[in-house]
Amino acid sequence: MEALFAPEEQEAPTGPLLRVHDLRRSFTVSGTRIDVLKGCSLEVARGEVVAVVGQSGSGKSTLLNIIGLLDSADSGEHVFDGVDVTRLREGQRARLRNERIGFVFQQFHLLERRSALANVSVPLVLAGVPLVRRRAIARELLESVGLGDRLSSQPHQLSGGEQQRVALARALSLNPALILADEPTGALDKASSTMIMDQLLDHARSRNTAVIVVTHDPEVAARADRTVTMSEGRILPAEEE
Amino acid sequence: MSRLLLALRLRKVFPDVLRSITAGLVLAFAGSRANVARTILSCAGIVVGIGALITVVTAGDLGERYAKAYSESVAGRAATFQVDLMAELEDLEAFEADLQRAGGTVVSLSTWISGPVVRSGGTPVPDVAFAAVDASLSDIRRLEIVQGRWFTEEDQESLVPVLVVNEELAGLLGDVTDVEIGTRRWLSARVVGVVETSAFESYPQLYLLRSPASEELMSSLSSSEEPLMLSYSVLVPPTDADPDSFLYRLASASWRWGAPTENIDEFVSVWRSDDSEAVDEMLGYLSMGLLGVASITLLTGLLGVLNVGLVTVRERRRELATYRALGASSLTLFVAVVTEAVVVSVVAGAIALTLCLAGAWVVDVLASPYLPSDVSVFVPPEAALVGLASAAFVGLLAGIIPAWRALRASVVAGLRE
């Protein structure tokens, strides 16, 4: 598999993994313009775990969506892995998202009526990994999150914690450079939350994968290398947090 | 240089496109398997639509074959002229030769006669239609031999009149090895074959071969008060099937057989007897009607699948957004949604085809007693092809709009659902 955005093909990816600067994003709802991001700036180093906290409506999810290439900023600088993503075409953004970014959502977003193995395989399918190889990778990842005996279970047959572990295995399937976790423990009990965060951070640190985790949970935020706070569409300077 | 750049660009882009399409196909098949209820629902509409389409095409084909069988059996192949003599000619042999010179590729005496009676074991069979013919009639009309054979040149040497009877008459005669025929006196005759009783003419029929052995019988008919008026079946090329032109050519040599050129109409009449033109016209209207029915059927099926496709996309916003989030490109998603629709349609088309094949078999078994032996009910290959191609086409059309809508949907909004 030839990766378009493999680090060796980029110009010396020695800088931060992610750099967003002065990002602005607004939406028009019923004729009223709402500025959600008002000049948001953030840098994340390779392998760094950053927690993003802030009140609801502060723009955390919008920032995460833009960083994850699910949305685009109206203006501002956005460089990921040495690539200016604002200049990429839709297909290139999709491929970058597929190969270099993993997602863990609060609501898991597993495909219904598909087995755990099939769910973990989806990014591999999109990356063009052959069937046998992707099954092996998916199996290995599910075993690594403790679901080796639930390979053929469908989402509705799994608990919330188990579903989130499947989602975590899926996020890790292509060994991304960055994992974006939007309230990954928001729908889980305390024991499951702890287990998910343990596994997420263990995998990330062992693979030098950066993690940006949006959370309201102080315990989750406390496990990050760094916590940034968002308020009214901006990331507050450290001294104001 | 620009070509080189284009080639390099294609080399870079092509694997991406191929990967997107492959991924789309894999997701499509996985999606079809995972959403059985949706797949079955889509299938049901298509099965009905394509089934109706195949049935319509099959019915059209059956109608065409039936009409052709009828036309060729009753009135001759395309194009057949009936040439009737309305007066006795001086030289019949010269006239028959001129029928060929005027453009007839096959000529056969084909005269219905009344007077003779046929019997077997002493009991005459009433109401038998007699036709005096030549062996070449089988090249002009469709005659299905069910037993024995049709006349051959060797039968000209027979010392007794040679006959072919239809199944109806063979049944009434009982023993066809002991047959006599006659008007004023009985002559032994030899039945060499039995033809199928036409579905269109189910009365007892007898074909008498014109030969030296039947000359006495024919003469006895001619010498009666009302002379025997001879008729001929003449096969001509369909491209040269104008009776007036034929008669004009024939008249140019009328002196050879003793008829005045200027009054040829009083001696000879020529008319086209085969129904191929009428059948073609009828089939033209039938085809247009069937095409209309098929179009409406197909449109109904298309709307059904389109509806299911649109509902599906609406219901699957979250699933499709998840695919996008995990790295599915627009092309991948487009291919996945369209392929799902096409696969479902083609599978439904195959199911419809299977049902139609089974249905045709049942109808053939039930209807065979009422159909000519060479007309059976089956799904013709073109109907199968039209059905499957239409299914794929409907799937493609019905998949494109939902796929387009899926691409326009916001990924973020989809993930929030």
Mutation test of the interface with chain B: which of A28, A65, A111, A182, choosing the one with the most B Cβ atoms within 10 A? Answer: A111
Report the residue from B27, B30, B415 with minimal CB separation from A105: B415
A26, β-bridge pairs: A35
**In this predicted structure, what is the pLDDT of residue A23?**
95
* B101 occurs within a structural domain: yes
Q: Which residue has the higher pLDDT, A237 or A212?
A: A212
Convert the pLDDT of each residue in B189-231 to its tens digit: 999 999 988 766 788 999 999 999 998 888 777 655 666 788 9
Instruction: For residues B380 and B311, state if they share a domain.
Output: yes
B19 CB neighbours in chain A (<8 A) are 127-128
Angle CA B405–B408–B411, to nearest 5: 115
Residue A94 — pLDDT band, cuts 50, 70, 90?
very high
Instruction: For residues B214 and B253, state if they share a domain.
Output: yes
Instruction: For residues B99 and B200, state if they share a domain.
Output: yes
Q: Of the residues B223, B243, B274, which one is the last residue of a structural domain?
A: B274
Q: Which of residues 83-122 of A touch B (CB under 8 A)?
A: 90-91, 94-95, 97-99, 103, 105, 109, 111-114, 118, 122
Whether A2 shows a pLDDT value over 50: the answer reads no
Q: Which residue has the higher pLDDT, A234 or B300?
A: A234
Whether A60 shows a pLDDT value over 90: the answer reads yes
A181 CB neighbours in chain B (<8 A) are none
Residue A4 — pLDDT band, cuts 50, 70, 90?
very low
Q: How far is CA B6 from CA B14, B20, B21, B72, B90, in A?
A: 11, 20, 21, 62, 86
Say how far apart CA B12 and CA B388 lie, in whole Å: 36
| Residues of chain B in Cβ contact (below 8 Å) with chain A | 15-16, 19-20, 22-23, 26-27, 30, 34-35, 318-319, 322-332, 411-412, 415
Whether A12 shows a pLDDT value over 60: the answer reads no
Which of B268, B263, B267, B261 is closest to B243 using CA atoms?
A: B268
**In this predicted structure, what is the pLDDT of residue A103?**
94
Instruction: For residues B221 and B332, state if they share a domain.
Output: no
**In this predicted structure, what is the pLDDT of residue B154?**
92
Residue A138: which domain range? Answer: 46-73+89-229
Cβ–Cβ below 8 Å for A95 and B15:
no
A129 in contact with chain B, both atoms CB, cutoff 8 A: no
Q: Which residue of A has its CA nearest to B323?
A: A122
Instruction: For residues B119 and B251, state if they share a domain.
Output: yes
Burial A114-150 (b: 16+ CB within 10 A, else e): bbbbbbbbbbbbbbbbeeeebbebbbebbebbebeeb
SS percent in chain A: helix, strand, coil, step 5: 40, 25, 35
Instruction: For residues B158 and B110, state if they share a domain.
Output: yes
Instruction: For residues B203 and B258, state if they share a domain.
Output: yes
Q: Which residue has the higher pLDDT, B406 or A202?
A: A202
Angle CA B276–B282–B287, to nearest 5: 115
Residue B384 — pLDDT band, cuts 50, 70, 90?
very high
* A34 occurs within a structural domain: no
Q: Stretch A64-89: mean pLDDT, rounded?
A: 93
Cβ–Cβ below 8 Å for B20 and A91:
yes
Q: Stretch A28-39: mean pLDDT, rounded?
A: 90
Left if phi > 0, otherwise alpha if psi is -120 to 50, otherwise beta: which for B45?
alpha
Instruction: For residues B109 and B87, state if they share a domain.
Output: yes
* A15 occurs within a structural domain: no
Q: How far is CA B138 from CA B33, B74, B195, in A?
A: 58, 12, 11
* A206 occurs within a structural domain: yes
Instruction: For residues B66 and B88, state if they share a domain.
Output: no
B409 CB neighbours in chain A (<8 A) are none
Report the residue from A68, A99, A111 with minimal CB separation from B322: A111
Instruction: For residues B286 and B153, state if they share a domain.
Output: no
Q: Of the residues B209, B244, B274, which one is the last residue of a structural domain?
A: B274
Which of B206, B132, B218, B110 is closest to B167 using CA atoms?
A: B206
Tokens 């997107």, residue located:
B20
Q: How far is CA A113 from CA A110, B11, B41, B268, B305, in A?
A: 9, 38, 17, 83, 22
Say how far apart CA B184 and CA B190 lie, in whole Å: 19
| Residue B36, H or E segment | helix B36-74
Residue A1 — pLDDT band, cuts 50, 70, 90?
very low
Collect all residues with Cβ–Cβ distance below 8 Å to A136 and sequence separation of at least 6. none
Residue B223: which domain range? Answer: 77-274
Q: Stretch B85-105: mean pLDDT, rounded?
A: 91
Convert the pLDDT of each residue in B31-57 to its tens digit: 766 666 666 766 777 788 888 888 888
Residues A135, A138, A140, A141, Cα dihedral to 10°: 180
Q: Which residue of B has its CA nearest to A174?
A: B326
* B16 occurs within a structural domain: no
Cβ–Cβ below 8 Å for B323 and A125:
no
Cβ–Cβ below 8 Å for A95 and B16:
yes
* B331 occurs within a structural domain: yes
Contact B71, B276 (CB under 8 A): yes
Beta pairing class for B179-182 and B117-120 = antiparallel
Whether B291 shows a pLDDT value over 80: the answer reads no
The sheet with strand A18-29 has its strands ordered as A32-44, A18-29, A75-80, A83-84
DSSP string for residues in A89-139: -HHHHHHHHHHHEEEE-TT--PPTTS-HHHHHHHHHHHTT--HHHHHHHHH
Convert the pLDDT of each residue in B177-189 to its tens digit: 889 998 778 889 9
A126 in contact with chain B, both atoms CB, cutoff 8 A: yes
Cβ–Cβ below 8 Å for B325 and A70:
yes
A3 in contact with chain B, both atoms CB, cutoff 8 A: no
A156 in contact with chain B, both atoms CB, cutoff 8 A: no
How near does any CA of chain A get to the CA of B299, in Å?
32
Say how far apart CA A201 and CA B376 lie, in whole Å: 74
* B1 occurs within a structural domain: no
Q: Of the residues B221, B241, B274, which one is the last residue of a structural domain?
A: B274
The tally of domains found in chain A comes to 1
- The proportion of chain A whose per-residue pLDDT surpasses 70, expressed as a percent, equals 93
**In this predicted structure, what is the pLDDT of residue B2?**
65
Residue B412 — pLDDT band, cuts 50, 70, 90?
confident
Instruction: For residues B111 and B143, state if they share a domain.
Output: yes
* B258 occurs within a structural domain: yes
Convert the pLDDT of each residue in B149-182 to its tens digit: 999 999 999 999 999 999 999 999 988 888 999 8
| Residue A80, H or E segment | strand A75-80
Contact B299, B45 (CB under 8 A): no
Cβ–Cβ below 8 Å for A126 and B332:
yes
The tally of domains found in chain B comes to 2
- The proportion of chain A whose per-residue pLDDT surpasses 90, expressed as a percent, equals 74
Find the CATH number of the domain harbouring A102: 3.40.50.300
A165-169, A180-184, B218-222, B386-390: range with lowest mean pLDDT = B218-222
Q: What is the mean pLDDT of chain A?
A: 89
Contact A142, A203 (CB under 8 A): no
Tokens 């502060």, residue located:
A58
Instruction: For residues B234 and B88, state if they share a domain.
Output: yes
Whether A10 shows a pLDDT value over 50: the answer reads no
**In this predicted structure, what is the pLDDT of residue B36?**
67
Whether B308 shows a pLDDT value over 50: the answer reads yes
Say how far apart CA A117 and CA A145 lie, in whole Å: 12
Q: Which residue of B has its CA nearest to A98?
A: B327
DSSP string for residues in B259-315: --STTHHHHEEEEE---HHHHHHHHHHHHHHHHHHHHHHHHHHHHHHHHHHHHHHHH
Whether B303 shows a pLDDT value over 50: the answer reads yes
How near does any CA of chain A get to the CA of B17, in Å?
9
Cβ–Cβ below 8 Å for B412 and A71:
yes
Q: What is the mean pLDDT of chain B?
A: 84
